Structure 1
Amino acid sequence: MRILGRFGILFSLTLLVLAILSFALAYLFPGDVLTNLTGIVPQNDAHRELLIQKHRLDEAYFFQFVHYLTEMLQGNWGYSFASGLSLKEEIGLALPATIELAFYAMFIAIVIGLPVGCYAGLKSYTAADYSINSVSMVGYSFPVFWLALLFILLFSLELNIAPLSGRISLLFDVPDKTGFILIDILLAENIDTSLALRDAFHHLLLPTLALSVISTASMIRMTRRSVIDVLNRPYITAARSRGLSRWQTFSRHILRNALLPVLPLLAIQITSLITNAMIVETLFSWPGIGNWLIQAIYQRDYPALRVGMLAVATVVIMLTITIDLFNRLIDPSRDKYERATV
C-alpha cells in the first residue's frame, strides 16, 4: 500500500504540472487567449463577454487555472478550430488507434525479442550469437521513418502485397464504438466479419512491422545482455553442480532472473514506441493521435494541439508508472535496494 501511495502522489503531481503547462499554452500561442483556450470564436462583444465570465478569464490566473482544471476533469476540453467538433470526441477516436498500433508492435517485440534474446544469451560469443547481435544492431540503427518509407516502396508500390494507407477499406462500414478497429469489426453488424478482419490485418501489416523492428531489436539486445549476466552468477554454477539439466537450469533460474532487469526497461520502450507510432501514422495515413496532431499543426488548430499534447503525455506517463509499479510489485527487493542507495 505504501508503494501505491507513493506512485499515486507521483502520478497526481505529474498530471498537475502537465495541466499547468497546457493552461499556459493558451497564453503562449498567437491569437486570442479565449479562442485558444476554448476553440470558440466569439460572434460579438456580448458573446465574448459571456465566454469570459464563463471561463473566469476576468479573474486571477490561479482561479482561471482552477476553473480550467475542473472543466478538464468534467470532460469539457473545448472545440477544434478545423472541424468544430468536441476535442474529447476527436481524441477519443484518434488515441485508441495509436494505442492499438503500439500494442501490436510491442506484442511482436516481446514474442520475437524474448526467445531470440534468450537463445543469443545462451549461445553467447558463438557464431549464432554474433549473427543475431549483428542483425539486431542493424535493425536498431534504422530510422523508423526511413524503414516505413522503404516498406511502402517495396511492399505497397512494387509488390502490391499490403495497402498503402488507412485502417480498413472504404467498402466496410464499421462504426467507431471503441476506437480499436478489430474490436469494432467484431461488434459491427451487417458486414462480413471474416473478410473485414482480413482486410484490417492487411492494413495493420506494414505500419506494425515498421514500428516493431526497432523495438524487437532493442528487446533482443536487452534480453541477451541480461541472460549473459545471469549465466555468470554463482547460483547458476551451483544449480549445474547439483545435476540439473540445461532446461531445468534455464526454466528455474535463468529465465526468471534474466527477465527481472528487462521488465523495467519496458517503461522506456513505451515512450519511444508511442513516439515512433506517431511518425509511422503520418506516413501510412493511420488515423491516430500523431497524424491528428500533425494535421492540427498544419491548420494552426491551437486548442487541438494543447489538449492533444496533454492527452499523449498523460497516456505515456500513466503507462510508464503502471509498468514501473508492476515491476516493484513482482520484485520487492528492487524497491528496497533503491531506497537503501539513496
Structure 2
Amino acid sequence: MLWSALRHLLWVILLFFILSLISFAILMRDPLNEALIQNNILGSYVYYLSALLQGDLGITYNGGQSLTSLIFTVLPPTLELCFSALLLAFILSIPLGILSAVNNQGIFSKALQSLSYVGLSIPIFWLAPILLYMAAIYGWEISATGQYNLLYEIQPITGFPVIDVWFVDVPYRTKIVQSVLQHLILPTLILCILPTMEIIRIIQQRAEYIIQQNYTKTAVTRGWSKWKILQRYVFRNTFPLLIPQITRVFTLVITQCMLVETVLGWPGIGRWLIGAVSIQDYNSISAGVIVLGICIITIDTLAKTVMFILDPFNKKGWYAR
C-alpha cells in the first residue's frame, strides 16, 4: 500500500515537472523573455518553478491582470460544463450499455453499437453550430449563448453559476435559475455525446465478456433470474472498471469543451486560451497549459484513489466476493 502511494506520488511529481518544462518552453517563445534565455536559462527555470509552487502565474499582457485570479474566473465555467456533460453521459450510458449487453444479438444492441461508432466520429466543431442554428430556427428554449442572461446578476461565490444562483436573494430567482439551466442544456447535450458513446462501448464489451463466462452460464442453469445475474456478476465486474476510464473521458471532454465554448460563447478557459493564442499572449498560454494539466492529474489521482479503495489488491474481478 505504501509503495503504491509513493510510486503514484513520484509519477505525479514527474508529470508536474514535464508540465513545467512545456509551460516554460512556451513562455520562452515570448520575444520579451529573450534576455532570460541569453543570460541563464537554468536559473530562469528555477525562478519560474519556484513562482509556480507559490501559486504565482504572472500577469497577462492583455490588460495586465493577475493570471491566478483570471484562471479562477475562467476555469469554473469549463469545469461546470465538463462535469454536467459527464454526469449526463453516465446517466444515459449505463442503462443503455447494460440493456445492449443483455440483448447482444437483438436489433437494439446492433443499432446502439452502430450509433456509438457514429457518435464517436462526429466532429464537435461541426455539430455545435448546426445544433445552435436548428435551436434558433425552430425557437427552442435552449437556443442561447453564454452562461445566463446578462440582465441578471449572480455574485460569484463558488464560481459555478449553477450553484451560485441558489444564493441569489431576489423575488425573481426562479427566472434566473431557468436562465442558467437553459444556457447549460445545449452545450451539455453536445459535449455528452462522445463520453456517452464511449462509456456505452466499454460497458457493452465488458458486460458481454462477463455474460459469456462459465460462472454466469452456471448461474443460468441453476435457474437464477436475469436481474440476479446482472446484480451479482455483471454490475460488480463492469461498473468498477469504468473508474479508470474517467481520466481519459474527462480529457476528451475538456478538449472538446474548448471548441464548444468558442461556438456557444461560453466564458471558459478554452475560449480564453484561444483568444490568448490569437493575440500571442504567451504568459496566458503557459498558465493555461499548467492549469489544464493539473486538472487532469487531479482527476487521475482521484480515480486511482477510488479504484484503490474498491480493489486494494488489484484483483481481476469482483465475482468471487
The normalised TM-score by structure 1 is 0.86
2:11 match: 10
Quick one: distance in 2 between partners of 1:247 and 1:336? Answer: 23
Task: Check whether the contact 2:247–2:296 (CA below 8 A) recurs between aligned residues.
Answer: no
Q: Does 1:84 find its partner at 2:85? A: no
Give the drift of 1:81. 1.0
Q: Does 1:177 find its partner at 2:157? A: yes
Q: Deviations over 1:267-299 (max 9, x none)?
A: 211111110111111110100110000111122
Quick one: distance in 2 between partners of 1:258 and 1:167? Answer: 36
Give the drift of 1:236. 0.8
Matches within 5 A, 1:1-342: 1-27=2-28, 29-33=29-33, 60-190=40-170, 192-334=172-314
Larger radius of gyration: 1
Give the drift of 1:316. 1.4
1:38 match: none
Q: Secondary structure at the match of 1:309?
A: helix
Give the drift of 1:184. 1.5
Further displaced range: 156-165 or 119-128: 156-165
Instruction: Call closer, same or farther: CA 1:21–1:131 in 2, change over 3 Å.
Output: closer
Give the drift of 1:136. 2.1
Task: Check whether the contact 1:296–1:302 (CA below 8 A) recurs between aligned residues.
Answer: yes
Task: Check whether the contact 1:293–1:308 (CA below 8 A) recurs between aligned residues.
Answer: yes
Quick one: distance in 2 between partners of 1:23 and 1:151? Answer: 39
Q: Deviations over 1:20-64 (max 9, x none)?
A: 22122222x141107xxxxxxxxxxxxxxxxx9xxx989743332
Quick one: distance in 1 between partners of 2:171 and 2:61? Answer: 34
* Structure 1 residue identity aligned to 2:20: A
Between the two proteins, the alignment pairs up a number of residues equal to 316
Further displaced range: 160-169 or 189-198: 189-198
Unaligned runs of 5+ in 2: none
Give the drift of 1:178. 1.6
Quick one: distance in 2 between partners of 1:75 and 1:260? Answer: 35
The normalised TM-score by structure 2 is 0.91
Task: Check whether the contact 2:100–2:109 (CA below 8 A) recurs between aligned residues.
Answer: yes
Identity of aligned residues (%): 28
Instruction: Call closer, same or farther: CA 1:168–1:229 in 2, change over 3 Å.
Output: same
Task: Check whether the contact 1:172–1:191 (CA below 8 A) recurs between aligned residues.
Answer: no
Task: Check whether the contact 2:155–2:168 (CA below 8 A) recurs between aligned residues.
Answer: yes
Quick one: distance in 2 between partners of 1:288 and 1:191? Answer: 29
Give the drift of 1:222. 1.2
Quick one: distance in 2 between partners of 1:191 and 1:147? Answer: 38
Instruction: Call closer, same or farther: CA 1:61–1:191 in 2, change over 3 Å.
Output: farther
Q: Secondary structure at the match of 1:177?
A: coil
Task: Check whether the contact 2:156–2:164 (CA below 8 A) recurs between aligned residues.
Answer: yes
Give the drift of 1:336. 8.7
Task: Check whether the contact 2:19–2:289 (CA below 8 A) recurs between aligned residues.
Answer: no
Q: Secondary structure at the match of 1:200?
A: helix
Quick one: distance in 1 between partners of 2:239 and 2:284? Answer: 40
Further displaced range: 308-317 or 85-94: 308-317
Quick one: distance in 2 between partners of 1:257 and 1:204? Answer: 34
Backbone CA RMSD of aligned residues: 2.2
Q: Secondary structure at the match of 1:220?
A: helix
Task: Check whether the contact 1:297–1:305 (CA below 8 A) recurs between aligned residues.
Answer: yes
